[in-house]
Each structure stands twice: as C-alpha cells, then as structure tokens.
Amino acid sequence: MQVSRYVRHLVATCIVLAVYCAIAGTSALAAPGQSAENLFQQGNTLYGQGNYQEALQIFNNIIAEDGFSGPLLYDLANCYAQSGQTGQAILNYKRAQYLSPRDSDIKGNLELLRKNQGLFQEDLPLTQRMVSLLNLDQWTLLAGLFFVLFTLSILLELRFSSGKYLQRWIGGFCLLGTVIAIMGAFSQYRQQDEAVVTGLDARLLLSPFPSAASVGTIQEGRVVYPTTRHGLFSLVEDQSGRTGWIETKAITSIRALVAPSQQGQHQPDGD
Amino acid sequence: MTPCGFRLILTRSNAGRLLLSLIFLAIACLASTRWCQAEATVAASLHPASFSVDRDTTLTVTVNGSRSADVQLPVVAGVSFQERGKSTQMQIVNGSLSSSISYAYQVEAAHPGTYTLPPISVSVDGSTLTTRPITFEVTPSGRTSPKQGGTAAPSTDLSAGETDKVAFLRISELKDTSWAGESIPIRITAYFRQGIKVSLNTLPVLKGNDFVIPQLDQHPRQTEETVNGTVYSALTWESSISAVKEGRRSLSVELDATLLFPHRGNPFPGFGDQDALQDEIFQNFFGGFESKHIKVASQPISIEVKQLPTDHQPHDFSGAIGHFNLLVEAKPTKVAVGDPITLEMTVAGKGNFDRVETPQFPEDPKWKTYPPAAEFKQGDSPSQGKKNFVQTLVVKDDQVTEIPPVSFVYFDPATEKYVTLTSPPIPLSVQRGQAEEAAAPPSASASSVPAAPKTEPKGQNLAGLAPNHLQMGELQRKIMPLYAQQWFVLLLALCTLLLLAVFLWKARLKYLRNNPMVRRKKEMQALFAKNMAGIRQAADNNDSGQYLAACRKALREMLGCYWQIEPSIITLADLQARLPPSSSLIVLFTAAEQGAYAKYSLSAMQIRQYSDQIEKELAELLCK
C-alpha cells in the first residue's frame, strides 16, 4: 500500500510537470500583431502584382520588427527567387523548411529553383536518404518521445505486476527507438552549421588572404559547411567534399536568423 | 499489498543495468554534443633539418588524440636536448572534440656530421607509440671556412651593393621582357651570414604597384651558399609574377627581419684574461645575443613589359597567356530531353591560370546552360597546373545528336600569336520525354494562393513556382533547435530523474533483501514509531482502556518482529520464558492482558510511569 502511494505521487508529479512543460512550450509563441498581419497581406498583394522588390522590403520589415515564421520566410524566398537572387532564395527556403518541414510547397519550389539554376544535388546513399527523411528537430522529438515512453513503461512495471513479458517488449522497443532516433539526430547534427553561398562570383581560396590562389568558383545558392574562421574568411566544405577559404560575407548561416529586435540590429538576412 | 509482497515483484526485474545504459543515453541526449576521440597518433619533426654546429634546431613531438603524454627522448652521442615547453590544443568542430599536445625541444650537436634520431617513445593512455627516425645534418660553424669534406656549398660572387653585408636579397631567373598579364617565374633568395640567428618578420614583398605576386610559401627552401668566400644561409622562394602595366618597369623586393648577434664584448671588464672570456662557452653563458631590426631590399631589376597585340585578338580572349591544352568530357551521353549532362572541361599547361576562364559553350536554343564551377590544381611550379570546369547542360530538343565543340583562346608568348583550342563534338543519344515535367509546377497546399498574378511580373519571373502562402502563422524571434528548448530539456531531465529514482529504489530494495538484519531493524523502527505514537495519544487522552490496548499491540508487534514469530500468538508465557524476570515489559504486558480480559484500569500516574518504562524498554530492544 505504501508503494502504491509512492507511485501515485510519482504519476501526479509527472502530470503536473508535463502540464508545465506544455505551457512553457506554448507560451513562447506570441500572437502576431495586427500590423504585421496587414503588412504580410500587403506584401503578398505586391508579389501578386509582380512588384517583387517592394514585397521583399515589406517582408524584411516584418522580420525586423516582429519576427519570422515558416510561411513568411517562404514568401520572402519566393520574392528572392522571382527577382533572380538565387542565394537568398535558397537560404530562405531552407530556413522556411526548417520551421515548416512538412510543407510540400517549400520543397517543390526549392527543387524547381535548384533545377532551374543548375544546382543539381548529387545522389545520396540509402542510409543518408533515410536519415534525411526527418530533420534534426524531428529526430530529436522522436528520440524524446521514445524516451518518455520508455520511462512510462518502467513506471508501469512498478505499478502493475501482471503482463511483465509484454511490458518488457514495449520497454525494449522504446529503448531501441530512442537509440535509432538519437543516431538519426546525430547524423543530422552536422546540418546544424550549414550555410548558403549568397555572394555572387564567390571563389574558394587556398589560404585566408585576398591574394591567395583560387581553388575554384562556387555557385551562388550552393550549400556549404563552415568549419573554422580566420579574419574575414571562413574555411568551408561543399557537398561534393571540396574545401577552401571563402569570404565570410559571401555565405550566410541558415540557423543564424535572429529577429533584429532580439539582437539590437537590423539584419534580417544575416548578410 | 504487504511490503514483502511488493518486494517480490521488484526483485524479479533485472532492469538495473538497462537503466544505467539509459541514463547515459539521456545525458548524451541532453548534452547534445558528440565526443569523438580518435585513436592517438604521434609524430616528430625537426625544423630546420640542417643547421650549423654553432646553432640549434627545434624538435617538435606532436601527440594527436590525447591531452597528456610522456615523451622519452632517446640518447644520441654528441646531441643534447633541452625542453622548451609544451602546448595543448583542443578544437570542437561540428560537435566533434579533438585534442593535441606538442612538446618542443631545443636540439644542439657538439660536432658536425649526419645524425639519426632513433624512434622516440611516447606513452599515451597506457600504450606506447613511437615516431619515425629522423635524420639531420649538422654543418661546421659559419665562422669557419666553407665545408670541409662532403659536398661544397654553391659558390657565387657578390654583386655591387651586396659587399660587406650580413644580409641581402636577390632576384634571379627572371626574364628581361614580358607581356602584360603574363605569369613569369621568379626566384627570390634571402642571404644571411652564418652564425647569426635570424627571425623573419615578413615574407618578401614587391615594392611598387607595377607587378603582382601570389602569396609566397611560409616555408622557403633552406640551403647554404658561399658568396665571395663567406658562407650564407639562403632562403629561397620559387614563385611567379605578372606585370600589370606596359613599358619599362623596375622590380624590387624587400623583407623585414630581426638579426640576433652574439655579444662579443667582455661581460666582466678587468676580470682576468680577455681571450679566455671570449671563449664561445662564456659568450653563450654570460653574453647572450643582441637583436637588430633590419629591412633588406634587392637590387632593382628592369623589365620591358610589352602590350598584347590587338590585331586579330579573338573576341572571347579572356587574358590567358602561356601554353595550354584542352580536354573535354561529358557524361552521361545517353539522356532524355530535360536531363542534366555534366560537361567537364580541363585546361592544363603553364601560364597565368587566374585569367583562364571557362571555355565557351556556343549559344544554341536547343541547349540550356548553367553557370560552371571551377577548380584549380597547382602543378610542380607556381605557373603550372590545370583548371577544371564543370558545367551542367540540359538538352531541350530530341533532335540533338552531339554536344557541340567548346573553344578556349589563349596568347602564346613563344609564337606571339593567339591560339584557339577547340574540342571535338561529343556524340549524344537523346530520347523524347520529360521536357514538360521540368516546367510542371509542384503541388500547392491548401493554404496557398490559388490564382497566379494577373499583371506581368517585374523581375526574373520564374515559371512554375508554387504561390505565396496567405496565412503568416506564429511569429518567432530565433531559430532554436528542439534540443535547446527549455520545455524539451525539462521533459528529458524529468524522465532521467524518474528513471534515476526507480533505479535507486530498486537498488535499495535489493540491498534490504540481501541484508535481513538491516531489513528487520528498519521494520522494527517503523513499528516502534507507529506504536509509540498510538501509546502517546492514549496517554494524552488519559484513556486507560485505549492505553492498555495500545501497549498490548505494541509489545506483541515489536516482540513478534524481534523474535521472528507471528505477533498474535504471543502470550504472557512467552514473555516470561524469553525475557528476564525483572523486565518491566512482563509487568506491563500482564496489566495489558488484564485490561483486555478483565475490568482493569490504570490511574493517570500509572499511565505516565508505564509510558516512560515501555518507551525505554522498547528502545533498548531496537538497539539489540
């Protein structure tokens, strides 16, 4: 009877904390202001009329003042794509994709733009294709979910003495799921640092100096992985494994997007 | 459920080890960083590998993949080592942590000759690793005459302006005429008189703006040369320069260096024999070195820079000067309309590769071309190499049968003519199909704008893009990965704590199961606390019947637990048989029995008296 009381206390504590977590998770999302909504509609109207530069200005203003969302970044990327700024377009499609991973429009437009600009992706091996089915957040969420289920299965084992065989199978399955999801998350962890070439005529150099010999050019819109920085240059590796130094201002990190009111400066595109 | 019953359920589980594994996993998940420690490796290097007997060199032993190591230096006759410190480096890239440690030693040799350092043993994390043997050469002192024995150092004469100098710069192997933009080889040599320690503050740099030079190597070739009978240490850079302006131009280079001269004065004037104190041992011990900052410049060289001929200059000439060849490959050569083809064009040879641009693919409505990517690989000399261009093509017409020739134009300085290289056409098999699919728009979601813009868009007007979204959604101020979000970390921490609690609970139960004495004591403590509370409450109420019943129950339960028998079967006879005759528990139990079966009551005074006695006796029972 004493143990039953303990278990009841544990379950009650779990519920209270889970409710707190849910509240904490949702409280961070603030409702957009009315003016931002109006500006957003105004930007879309301008986009529909073909005034891409003005629409760009409006979308960037919303990001500067109120923050960003998946649809907003997607619309911004469409403006960049229509105005021929491939690097910025791909950067914002990737950012939008991070926030709205299940949006088929983002994926479709990104593929279309890449195909149109000759930014063909090399075929990935099967394991990498499996890993890329989910992004880092989705793998992390899956790992967390399996871990919570595993914890619950252990707690239930304390409470109920019958059906131990089934409980152990469930616990083992959850543990296996946790391990696989963690492996998936770690594989996607590298994408955390990815950046997009946003500068025109960017060149990869042998050394981090302007006069250094060039390794070759790298096309605007290509995804690169910065590894280290030196002065005004970053050492990057592209998706084909080629490495070289590139001017830091010619690349923009996908995760570096912070609404300027948070940073205290106006820099919606990170460039 | 009794405590014993519950314990049985738990003890069947062997989840302890499982839980441990899980906790580690959770901690790894929370930390969200990878600790990848590669297998330790060691390497040793000696720089420079050739030095004179009056100088020293630096031995560096680098251990990668560990933060501590024990280096055991070998014993080599005539060679001494002096530790100069160590440095550690840790780097986290993409979450992977790597560490290395470097030990530096000053190496000096007593006599000239060729030495071999045997493999150096390094103990790393309990295992012993060894480096490769290193061979180095020790030359005679710079103040002595040129090399005795062995190969003699190259001997040259001093030019005007170089006499009586401890350091000077020379430019050699340079043509006296050049074309504007042409890459011409250059050799820059810095000479420093032997016996002087030198620290370079800059690499050689060009004076003036008439020429450009690529970044020079940080590690020039080191040799010894004899100039006018004096031995110099020579640092040589092989590179290339390009003239940017036509006409007769002057070329000169300069560099900054710090020279360290040994003190030649007597540090102890008036102290005995001057000659004895000027011995090298005393100089090194007492005198040390005197530094002097110098700027060394080469003699200016005049070069005639000619302008490229403008007659018959092809319109697609990009400025490439030298001698090149062109190789073009394409794959795949069997495609459907709309499929990408990778065209790889390689321009190899000798010349100014920075001006080599992509070979021109002819403009043709049947083809769609994309901007190429370029990659340069340097050859044996700075102006030699090959530049690789990769361009994606898409064929738009199934009537196409070949990839058209591409052309590359350069100026050959040997023949003083423009040369156009043209690749042969590459046969291609094109199937009909998929062209329309390329332009097909992707599917639009329910939240999309259904209608396309009515007016003609201003800009690139990329066809087929899915329309904008009309719902802005929730705004946020920062892209924060899930693993860094507070609620997620809290949830994981909560689960980890719960698992930890379960683990500790099970460990405690296992401990009690394996230690019956401890378990019984704990049970008695619990019974004592519970029963004493009942006795005190009855005493406070001054209720004799309730008090005697509480005492009877307490005595039975405590003694039952102590004697390991069922409490309900304990009688007065048991107490008389097992306890000393003088025990007050017998008296109290007798009173309790009378209270239970006869009309017997206690006064308030007796209740207080018995309370003290029973508490004392039962507490003593706990201590046994």
Q: CB of B370 within 8 Å of any CB in chain A? A: yes
Q: What length does chain A have?
A: 271
The predicted pLDDT at position A75 comes to 95
Find which of A217, A243, A258 to mutate to test the B interface (most B CBs within 10 Å of its CB): A217
Has residue A237 got a pLDDT over 50? Answer: yes
Closest-CA residue of B relative to A67 is B477
Least confident of A247-261, B464-478, B605-619: A247-261
Residue B236 has φ and ψ, to the nearest 5°, of -120, 130
Partners of residue B486 in chain A, C-beta under 8 Å: 24-25
> What pTM, to 2 d.p., does this model score?
0.46
Find which of B391, B454, B482 to mutate to test the A interface (most A CBs within 10 Å of its CB): B482
The predicted pLDDT at position B138 comes to 84
Q: CB of A93 within 8 Å of any CB in chain B? A: no
DSSP B517: H
Q: CB of B399 within 8 Å of any CB in chain A? A: no
Indicate the pLDDT class of residue A31, thresholds 50, 70 and 90: very low
| Sign of torsion over alpha carbons B261, B262, B266, B267 | positive
Distance from A134 to chain B by nearest Cα, in Å?
Answer: 13
> DSSP 3-state assignment of A197?
strand
Residue B211 has φ and ψ, to the nearest 5°, of -130, 160
Contact assignment for A154 to B499 by CB distance below 8 Å: yes
The predicted pLDDT at position A28 comes to 43
Highest mean pLDDT among A186-200, B98-112, B549-563: B549-563
Partners of residue B22 in chain A, C-beta under 8 Å: 147, 150, 175, 178
Closest-CA residue of A relative to B372 is A219
Task: Give the residue from B111, B103, B121, B123 showing the smallest Cα distance to B59.
Answer: B103
Q: Of A3 and B496, which is predicted with more confidence?
A: B496
Count the neighbouring beta carbons within 10 Å of the beta carbon of residue B258: 13
The predicted pLDDT at position B461 comes to 62
Indicate the pLDDT class of residue B24, thresholds 50, 70 and 90: low
Q: Of B520 and A72, which is predicted with more confidence?
A: A72
Partners of residue A10 in chain B, C-beta under 8 Å: 498, 501
The predicted pLDDT at position A70 comes to 92
Contact assignment for A48 to B445 by CB distance below 8 Å: no
Which A residues in the span 134-163 are in contact with B, Cβ-Cβ below 8 Å? Answer: 136-137, 140-141, 143-144, 147-148, 150-151, 154-155, 157-158, 161
Residues in contact with A184: Cβ distance below 8 Å, sequence separation at least 6, in sequence order? A131, A134, A139, A142, A143
Burial class for B225, CB neighbours closer than 10 Å (0-12, 13-18, 19+): middle
Pick from A21, A117, A258: CB nearest B478 = A258
Contact assignment for A14 to B10 by CB distance below 8 Å: no
Q: What is the pLDDT of residues B504-542, one digit of tens each?
A: 988 988 888 888 888 888 888 888 888 889 888 888 888
- ipTM comes to 0.75
The predicted pLDDT at position A150 comes to 92
Residues in contact with A176: Cβ distance below 8 Å, sequence separation at least 6, in sequence order? none
Has residue A155 got a pLDDT over 70? Answer: yes
Q: Are B586 and B575 in contact (CB under 8 A)?
A: yes
Closest-CA residue of B relative to A253 is B479
The predicted pLDDT at position A29 comes to 43
Least confident of B72-86, B359-373, B456-470, B524-538: B456-470
Contact assignment for A44 to B374 by CB distance below 8 Å: no
Q: Of B596 and B190, which is predicted with more confidence?
A: B190
Least confident of A229-238, B211-220, B298-307, B537-546: B211-220
Residues in contact with B135: Cβ distance below 8 Å, sequence separation at least 6, in sequence order? B49, B114, B115, B116, B117
What whole-number percentage of chain A has pLDDT above 90?
A: 37
Q: What integer best gives the mean pLDDT of chain B?
A: 76
Q: Of B242 and A267, which is predicted with more confidence?
A: B242
Residues in contact with B401: Cβ distance below 8 Å, sequence separation at least 6, in sequence order? B427, B428, B429, B430
Q: CB of B441 within 8 Å of any CB in chain A? A: yes
The predicted pLDDT at position B124 comes to 82
Indicate the pLDDT class of residue B395, thresholds 50, 70 and 90: confident
Closest-CA residue of A relative to B392 is A118
Q: Are B45 and B73 in contact (CB under 8 A)?
A: no
Distance from B520 to chain A by nearest Cα, in Å?
Answer: 17
Rounded to an integer, the average pLDDT of B592-614 is 83
Q: Of A28 and B483, which is predicted with more confidence?
A: B483
Partnered with residue B226 across adjacent β-strands are B155, B231
Count the neighbouring beta carbons within 10 Å of the beta carbon of residue B575: 20
Alpha helices for chain A (secondary structure H): 2-27, 34-48, 52-66, 70-82, 86-99, 104-117, 126-131, 136-159, 164-189, 260-263
Contact assignment for B472 to A30 by CB distance below 8 Å: no
Residues in contact with B494: Cβ distance below 8 Å, sequence separation at least 6, in sequence order? A14, A17, A18, A21
Rounded to an integer, the average pLDDT of B343-353 is 89
Q: CB of A192 within 8 Å of any CB in chain B? A: yes
B204: preceding bond cis by omega (within 30 degrees): no
Strands B155-156 and B221-227: parallel
Partners of residue B527 in chain A, C-beta under 8 Å: none
Rounded to an integer, the average pLDDT of A9-32 is 56
Q: CB of B331 within 8 Å of any CB in chain A? A: no
| Sign of torsion over alpha carbons B502, B506, B511, B516 | positive
The predicted pLDDT at position B564 comes to 83
Residues in contact with A118: Cβ distance below 8 Å, sequence separation at least 6, in sequence order? A219, B340, B369, B370, B371, B392
In degrees, rounded to 5, the angle at the alpha carbon of residue A264 between the alpha carbons of residues A262 and A269 is 75
Contact assignment for A189 to B34 by CB distance below 8 Å: yes
The predicted pLDDT at position A23 comes to 54
Rounded to an integer, the average pLDDT of A138-161 is 88
Closest-CA residue of B relative to A192 is B94
Contact assignment for A137 to B482 by CB distance below 8 Å: yes
What are the structure tokens assigned to A166, written together?
């089934």
Distance from B505 to chain A by nearest Cα, in Å?
Answer: 10
Closest-CA residue of A relative to B444 is A105
The predicted pLDDT at position A58 comes to 93
Burial state string for B44-83 with b = 16 or more CB within 10 A and e = fewer than 16: bebeeeebbbbbbbebbbbbbbbeebebebeeeeebeeee
Has residue B587 got a pLDDT over 60? Answer: yes
Residue B369 has φ and ψ, to the nearest 5°, of -115, 155
Partners of residue B471 in chain A, C-beta under 8 Å: 71
Q: What is the pLDDT of residues B439-490, one digit of tens each?
A: 443 333 333 333 333 333 344 567 788 889 988 888 888 777 888 888 999 9
Pick from B392, B468, B474: CB nearest A120 = B392
Residue type, A59: F
Pick from B15, B374, B468: CB nearest A44 = B468
CA distance B372 to B347: 14
Q: Are B214 and B239 in contact (CB under 8 A)?
A: yes
Rounded to an integer, the average pLDDT of B44-63 is 81
Closest-CA residue of A relative to B463 is A82
CA distance A111 to A120: 9
CA distance B180 to B195: 42
Has residue A112 got a pLDDT over 70? Answer: yes
Partners of residue A181 in chain B, C-beta under 8 Å: none
Q: CB of B442 within 8 Å of any CB in chain A? A: yes
The predicted pLDDT at position A26 comes to 47
Partners of residue A18 in chain B, C-beta under 8 Å: 491, 494
Pick from A32, A75, A209: CB nearest B468 = A75
Partners of residue A185 in chain B, C-beta under 8 Å: 483
Has residue B114 got a pLDDT over 50? Answer: yes
Contact assignment for B454 to A48 by CB distance below 8 Å: yes
Partners of residue A257 in chain B, C-beta under 8 Å: 478-479
Q: What integer best gives the mean pLDDT of chain A?
A: 82
Rounded to an integer, the average pLDDT of A186-193 is 78
Q: What length does chain B have?
A: 624
Q: CB of A38 within 8 Å of any CB in chain B? A: no
Residue B514 has φ and ψ, to the nearest 5°, of -85, -10
Highest mean pLDDT among B28-37, B86-95, B444-453: B86-95
Residues in contact with B487: Cβ distance below 8 Å, sequence separation at least 6, in sequence order? A21, A22, A24, A25
Q: CB of B23 within 8 Å of any CB in chain A? A: no
Q: CB of A191 within 8 Å of any CB in chain B? A: no
Q: Which residue shows structure tokens 């093509």?
A: B393
Q: CB of B487 within 8 Å of any CB in chain A? A: yes
Has residue B349 got a pLDDT over 70? Answer: yes
Rounded to an integer, the average pLDDT of B122-136 is 84
Contact assignment for B215 to A51 by CB distance below 8 Å: no
Partners of residue B374 in chain A, C-beta under 8 Å: 214, 216-217
Q: Of B140 and A246, which is predicted with more confidence?
A: A246
What are the structure tokens assigned to B430, written together?
């094109």
User: In whole angstroms, how far apart are CA B47 and each of A229, B64, B222, B499?
Assistant: 27, 19, 10, 56
What are the structure tokens assigned to B256, written together?
């900054």
Task: Give the residue from B66, B176, B191 showing the smallest Cα distance to B123.
Answer: B66
B359: preceding bond cis by omega (within 30 degrees): no
Distance from A164 to chain B by nearest Cα, in Å?
Answer: 9
**Rg, C-alpha atoms of chain B:** 47
Has residue B159 got a pLDDT over 90? Answer: no
Rounded to an integer, the average pLDDT of B585-589 is 87
Q: Are B402 and B424 in contact (CB under 8 A)?
A: no
Q: CB of B453 within 8 Å of any CB in chain A? A: yes
Burial class for B204, CB neighbours closer than 10 Å (0-12, 13-18, 19+): buried
CA distance B143 to B153: 14
The predicted pLDDT at position A27 comes to 45
Partners of residue B28 in chain A, C-beta under 8 Å: 182
Partners of residue B214 in chain A, C-beta under 8 Å: 211-213
DSSP B423: P
